[in-house]
């Protein structure tokens, strides 16, 4: 269980204020969508909340503990509750698709089931013949799918999935498939923090934050059945 | 940490950067070999060893800084605070062991003190590399590489 509370976050990049006094609560099992134009600060906000970028002001409390005041050892421990899907596909280029997917198991004992799960997801997206290919040989869209699979394959061990524009390079059919997977994981109690421009994503989210110039300009709470 | 995975990534690394790992093996050979023959080199023995150790540290640090994406990704996806130390340590240690075998096969002798010096070099280099990972924002590392 991972409860997150961000209080008055501020982040500057050189002279530009990228995040300007943002506060938000993320309860376990929520499905949050962050929308906004490019450069609004969505990625930076998600990275601060998930413990990857230190804010210049404000604080992030994870399960009641001020994350950025913790020791590095404790921060690493807490961060294991998060899984990431990055906007720009970040991979170990000289490794194969399957190795890149299984990276999150480097700190765990990957069982045969985990391996099967990776193959299942590859099959689901019609990429089962790419398992042993070098990752850089895949197209941008295929790499995006691999990034998504890597982000969700450890759902058993993580509480929060941070997805930064995961479907921006995919067609509508694949986008819907991925959103349905997020919805399924959310129904299992996982928290989803999704950054997306997509209209379709709005149908799946429980809360929507609109951002502009580093501020939250609008907030919508959706009532779900 | 899953050592099997680290060794697998190491094997992948050898295929991608064979020149680096050959260089690393040579540095390990020189460090241990020079220790054993340093008395024969007179006043230059210790000096030569220190120079080789310094070159070795710079060599490894430069490589692991340029190739930091791998450690960065592993650290973000569930690695712990010691990943930045353990990954280079296991890799450099592997090539130190290979260097020992090469010395034993070619020269037929290596002292325990030389092995200890080689191990000390491995440990020191890994700690220097780890300091960068522990005190730098991991997200920044993977974005920049």
pLDDT in tens, A42-53: 999 999 998 888
Nearest to B78 among A80, A94, A109 (CB): A80
- Is residue B29 helix, strand or coil? helix
Q: Across all residues in chain B, what is the average pLDDT?
A: 85
Q: Judge contact between A92 and B11, C-beta under 8 A.
A: no
Considering Cα of B81, then B135, then B23, then B20, what sign does the dihedral take? positive
Query: What is the pLDDT, as a whole number, of residue A163?
Result: 94
Whether residue A99 and residue B8 make contact (CB cut-off 8 A), yes or no, is yes
pLDDT > 60? residue A225: no
pLDDT in tens, A90-119: 888 878 898 889 888 877 666 777 888 889
Query: What is the pLDDT, as a whole number, of residue A58?
Result: 94
A118 touches chain B (CB under 8 A): no
Task: State the nearest Cα–Cα gap between A206 and chain B, in angstroms.
Answer: 26
Q: Select the more confidently predicted residue: A179 or A76.
A: A179
| Percent above pLDDT 70 for chain A | 96
For residue A132, what are its two tokens? 């042993």
Whether residue B12 and residue A92 make contact (CB cut-off 8 A), yes or no, is yes
Whether residue A109 and residue B142 make contact (CB cut-off 8 A), yes or no, is no
pLDDT in tens, A190-201: 999 999 988 888
Q: Give residue limits of the domains in chain B.
A: 3-144
pLDDT band for A164, please (50, 70, 90 cuts). Answer: very high
Question: In chain A, whose CA is at the least distance from the CA of B144?
Answer: A90
pLDDT > 60? residue B54: yes
pLDDT in tens, A82-97: 999 988 778 888 788 9
Query: What is the pLDDT, as a whole number, of residue A110?
Result: 65
Chain A residues closer than 8 Å to B1 by CB = 106-107
pLDDT > 70? residue A216: yes
ipTM of the complex: 0.78
- Mean pLDDT for B95-124 is 94
Query: What is the pLDDT, as a whole number, of residue A154?
Result: 84
- The Cα A133–Cα A123 span in angstroms is 14
* DSSP states along A190-225: -EEEEE---SGGGGT-SEEEEEETTEEEEEEE----
pLDDT band for A223, please (50, 70, 90 cuts). Answer: low
Task: State the nearest Cα–Cα gap between B91 and chain A, in angstroms.
Answer: 15
B3 touches chain A (CB under 8 A): no
pLDDT > 90? residue B122: yes
Nearest to A103 among B74, B137, B140 (CB): B74
Query: What is the pLDDT, as a whole number, of residue A75?
Result: 85
pLDDT in tens, B96-108: 999 999 999 999 8
pLDDT band for B1, please (50, 70, 90 cuts). Answer: low
Report which of B143, B96, B100, B141 is spatially closest to residue B123, judged by C-alpha positions. Answer: B96
Distances (CA, A) of A85 to A140, A214, B31, B97: 14, 21, 43, 38
pLDDT > 80? residue A63: yes
- The Cα A16–Cα B57 span in angstroms is 38
- The Cα A39–Cα A62 span in angstroms is 26
For chains A and B, what is the number of CB pairs under 8 angstroms?
75
Whether residue B76 and residue A92 make contact (CB cut-off 8 A), yes or no, is no
Query: What is the pLDDT, as a whole number, of residue A207?
Result: 93
- Mean pLDDT for A52-78 is 89
**From the candidate CATH numbers 3.40.50.300, 3.40.50.1980, 3.40.605.10, 3.40.920.10, the one assigned to the domain spanning A1-80+197-225:** 3.40.50.300
Cα angle at B27 between B24 and B32, to 5 degrees?
130
pLDDT band for B144, please (50, 70, 90 cuts). Answer: low
B144 touches chain A (CB under 8 A): no
pLDDT > 90? residue A149: yes
- The Cα A48–Cα A6 span in angstroms is 9
Q: Across all residues in chain A, what is the average pLDDT?
A: 89
Q: Select the more confidently predicted residue: A178 or B5.
A: A178
């Amino acid at each position: 269980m991972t409860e997150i509370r961000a209080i008055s976050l501020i982040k500057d990049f050189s002279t530009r204020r990228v995040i300007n006094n943002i506060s938000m609560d993320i309860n376990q099992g929520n499905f949050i969508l962050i929308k906004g134009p490019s450069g609004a600060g969505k990625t930076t906000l998600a990275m601060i909340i998930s413990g990857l970028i230190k804010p210049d002001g404000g604080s992030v409390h994870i399960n009641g503990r001020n994350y950025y005041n913790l020791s590095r050892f404790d921060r690493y421990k807490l961060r294991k509750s998060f899984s990431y899907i990055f906007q720009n596909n970040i991979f170990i280029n000289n490794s194969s698709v399957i190795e890149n997917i299984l990276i999150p198991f480097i700190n765990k004992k990957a069982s045969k089931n985990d391996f099967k799960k990776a193959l299942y997801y590859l099959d689901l997206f019609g990429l089962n013949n790419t398992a042993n290919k070098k990752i850089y040989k895949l197209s941008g869209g295929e790499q995006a799918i691999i990034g998504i699979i890597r982000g969700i394959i450890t759902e058993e061990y993580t509480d929060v999935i941070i997805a930064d524009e995961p479907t921006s390079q995919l067609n509508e059919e694949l986008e819907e498939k991925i959103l349905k997977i997020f919805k399924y994981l959310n129904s299992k109690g996982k928290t989803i923090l999704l950054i997306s421009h997509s209209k379709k994503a709005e149908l799946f989210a429980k809360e929507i934050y609109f951002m502009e110039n580093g501020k939250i300009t609008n907030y919508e709470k959706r009532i779900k059945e | 940490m899953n050592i099997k995975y680290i060794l697998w990534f190491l094997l992948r690394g050898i295929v991608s950067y064979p020149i680096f790992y050959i260089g690393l093996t040579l540095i390990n050979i020189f460090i241990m070999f020079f220790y054993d023959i340093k008395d024969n080199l007179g006043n230059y023995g210790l000096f030569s060893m220190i120079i080789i150790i310094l070159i070795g540290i710079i060599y490894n640090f430069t490589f692991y800084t340029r190739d930091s994406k791998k450690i960065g990704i592993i650290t973000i996806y569930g690695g712990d605070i010691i990943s930045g130390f353990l990954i280079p340590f296991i890799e450099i240690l592997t090539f130190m062991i290979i260097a020992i075998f090469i010395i034993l096969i070619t020269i037929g002798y290596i002292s325990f003190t030389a092995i200890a010096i080689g191990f000390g070099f491995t440990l020191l280099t890994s700690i220097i590399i780890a300091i960068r990972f522990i005190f730098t924002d991991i997200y920044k590392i993977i974005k920049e590489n």
